[in-house]
Structure 1
Amino acid sequence: MAFVILSTGGLTQSRLLTVRTRTVLLASFAVLFAALFGGGMLGYRMAQESAAPAVNEEASAPLTLGQPEGRALIERVGELTGRLIRLESEAVALAKRVGVLKEFEEQVGAQAKPQRTADTAESPSGGPLLPPVGETLSALAVRTSAHDDDFGTGLAELERHMDRIDEAFAFVEQVTTERNLQNMAFPSRSPVLEPRIGSGFGNRLDPFTRKLARHTGIDFPAPKGTPIVASAGGRVRRAGYNRDYGYMIEIDHGNGLVTRYAHSSKLLVRAGELVMPQQRIALIGSTGRSTGPHLHFEVIRNGAYVDPRHYLALTASN
C-alpha cells in the first residue's frame, strides 16, 4: 500500500510523490518516542531539583530536645538513671546484709564508681549529661566528642554502668543463695522444743553399769510423744531399729556431716526421703538401751563423733 501526494511547484509544473506505509509508521514511532523520552527527562530533572533542598535541609537540621527523637532519648536516659539508682541502692544494701560488701565493690569495679572532681569533692552531685538551655543535642555531641549513638547524653556509659551493677547484683544474690543452702544443711537448730540437756558429750557414768563410759551425744529428756525435728535439711540415710539406739534416724547433710536421733517411740520419715530444717521426723520414746523417754542426739563429722554443742545454738542449761 502507498500514499500518493500531489505536489505543486509555483505555476509552471506539478509532480506526484509516492510514500510507502512502512516509512510513515517508522517516522511516526520515532517522533512519539522522542517526545516521551524528552518529557520524562524533563520531569525527572524538575523533581530532583525540587527535592534536593528539602533533603539537604533535613540533613542539616540539628536534633533538638523539642523533636520527638530528642524527647524519646531524654526519656530513655531518665528511665535508665532511675533504674541504675534503684539497683545500686538494693545491691549495696543486700551486700551489707550478707557481709560481702567488699566483694561487691570489687565486682562492680572502679569504672562503675562515679569519678569525683575538684568541683564535686565537697558537694556530691550527678545525673545524665544533658545540653544547656538553648543548645541542641547535636552541638553537645560535637563539643564533647561523644559517640554518635547517644548524642553526648552519656547514655552509652550509663548503660555500661548499669550492666556492671546487674552483674554485681547477680553475684550478691548467688552468694546469698549459696550461704542459705549451707545454713540450711548446717545442724544448728535444736532437735526438740524447749531443749533441756540431761547428759552431755564425753565421759560419764553409764546408767546401766555405773562405770565410766563415753557418751557420744547429748540427751534431751522430754515426755514420750514429744516431736523430734531435723536439726538441718538433708536426706534420710537410715530409719529403723537398732539394739542400742532403739528406733533411730540418721540424716546426711552433705560435706561429711550426719546427725543421729535415737530412742524414738515412732518414726515419721523413711530412708531416702529429703527433709527440711525443723521438719518433724520422729516422736520421743525410750526404745533400745534407754532408762526413760529422751532423745539421744549425735553429730558425726567425717565418721567421727563431735560435741553437738559446737553446732547447736542452745540457751538452756544442764
Structure 2
Amino acid sequence: MQIILLHPRFTKARSITLTYRHWLVGGVVALVALVLCSSLLTWIALTHATELKLPFLQNMLSSASPDDAGKKDKYLKENLAAMAIKLGEMQAQLMRLDALGERVQGLSGVKPEEFNFKELPGRGGSEPANRLRPRPPELTLSAFQSALDALAVDVEHRSDYMNVVETTLMFDKIRSKLLPTIQPVNVSYNASGFGWRFDPFTGHSAFHEGIDFPAPTGTHIIAAAGGVVIAAEFHHQFGNMLEIDHGNEIVTRYAHASRLLAKVGDIVQRGQYVADIGSTGRSTGSHLHFEVLVKGVQQDPHKFLIAGADQGRVPLVTQK
C-alpha cells in the first residue's frame, strides 16, 4: 500500500509505501495500547466504585467475593452482641437510677402520686406532616452504636448528679434534726421570755438568757433536737441541769429539773423524754428554764422554736 503526502513546504510530492510488516507492527502497538487503557479504566472503576456511586460495580464486587459477605455477617453479629451487652448494662443503671430517684423523692417530700419513677411520662402531639419536612438520614450501625454509647454516658452522669442531690438532701435533713426547733415542754405559754426583765429575787433589771415554761412538777421535758448529753449535774443556780450538744457549736440547756433521766455521753433523739420539770436551784416555782447557746453565747430560743412551728408536734420518744 502506497500513501502520497502533499504539503506547500514540499518541493515535490512524497510517497510512503506500507508493507505487511508495517501493518503487523501497528496492529500490535494498537492492541497493547487498548489493553493498557482497559486495565487502567478497570482499576480506576474498582478502586473508586463507592466514590463514583456505581451500584453495578459494587454489586459485582460483592458477588465476586463471597468471603466478604461472610465477614460482614460476622461483623454484624459481633456488633449486635456488643450492643445487647451495653443495653443490659443501661437497663441495670436505669433500675438503680429509679431506686435512687425514689429515695430522693422521699427526702424531698414529693408525693409518690405526683412523680412516679416507674411510669413513663405522658407525651403526645399532632401527627407530623412528613411531606413538608425532609426525610431523616438512614441510621447506620456505627451511628446507632455511637448514639448508644452517648446515652450510656448520659445515664451515668445523671446517676452521679442524683447521688449528689441525695447526699445534699440527706445532710439537710440530718442538720434540721440537730437544730433545737421543737418546744421542750408541751405548754401553751411561757412565764418569762428572753431579754431584759426585773429579777424575781432582787427586783433589779437583769438580762434573762432563756425562756421559762411553767408546768407542774413531774411534767415531761423532751430534747429540742438530737444530740449528745455533755452535762447532767446539779448547778447551784440552775439546780438539776441537763446540757445537750447538737453539733455545729449549738448547745441546749434544761434547768431546775426535779429528775434527770439522761446521763453524760448518752445519745438522745429529737423529742426524747430526758427529764422532769421541778423547782430546784434558784427558782420561785415549778418550771423549765430553757436556753440555746451558739458558740457559748445565749441566743433567743424563740427564733429556733418559730422555725420549727410549722413542723407540728414531734412524737414523744421514751428513753430506752
Q: So what's the TM-score if we normalise by structure 1?
A: 0.59
Q: 2:190 matched to 1:180?
A: no
Amino acid at match of 2:70: E
Q: 2:141 matched to 1:141?
A: yes
Amino acid at match of 2:72: S
Q: 2:198 matched to 1:201?
A: no
Q: Which residue of 1 aligns with 2:251?
A: 258
User: Structure 1 residues 86-95 or 239-248, which shifts more?
Assistant: 86-95
Q: 2:53 matched to 1:60?
A: no
Q: Which residue of 1 aligns with 2:227?
A: 234
Percent identical among aligned pairs is: 38
Residue deviations 1:173-207, cap 9 Å, x none? 11012112211221111111244211101111222
3-state SS in 2 of match to 1:235 = strand
Partners of 2:106 and 2:239 in 1: CA distance: 47
Match of 1:164 among 157, 176, 185: 157
3-state SS in 2 of match to 1:61 = helix
Equivalent pair of 2:100/2:163 in contact (CA under 8 Å): no
Amino acid at match of 1:190: Q
Amino acid at match of 1:140: T
Q: Which residue of 2 aligns with 1:87?
A: 97
Equivalent pair of 2:219/2:277 in contact (CA under 8 Å): yes
Partners of 2:141 and 2:157 in 1: CA distance: 25
3-state SS in 2 of match to 1:190 = coil
Alignment of 1:37-116 (within 5 A): 57-61=69-73, 70=80, 73=83, 77=87, 80=90, 84=94, 87=97, 91=101, 94=104, 98=108
Gaps of 5+ in 2: 1-64, 110-124, 129-137, 310-320
Structure-2 change in CA distance of 1:208 and 1:72 (3 Å)? same
Structure-2 change in CA distance of 1:158 and 1:81 (3 Å)? farther
- What is the total number of aligned residue pairs between the two structures? 221
3-state SS in 1 of match to 2:185 = coil
Amino acid at match of 1:281: V
Partners of 1:254 and 1:83 in 2: CA distance: 37
Q: Which residue of 1 aligns with 2:32?
A: none
Q: CA deviation at 1:245?
A: 0.5
Alignment of 1:296-315 (within 5 A): 296-313=289-306
RMSD: 3.8
3-state SS in 2 of match to 1:270 = coil
Q: CA deviation at 1:225?
A: 1.0
Q: So what's the TM-score if we normalise by structure 2?
A: 0.58
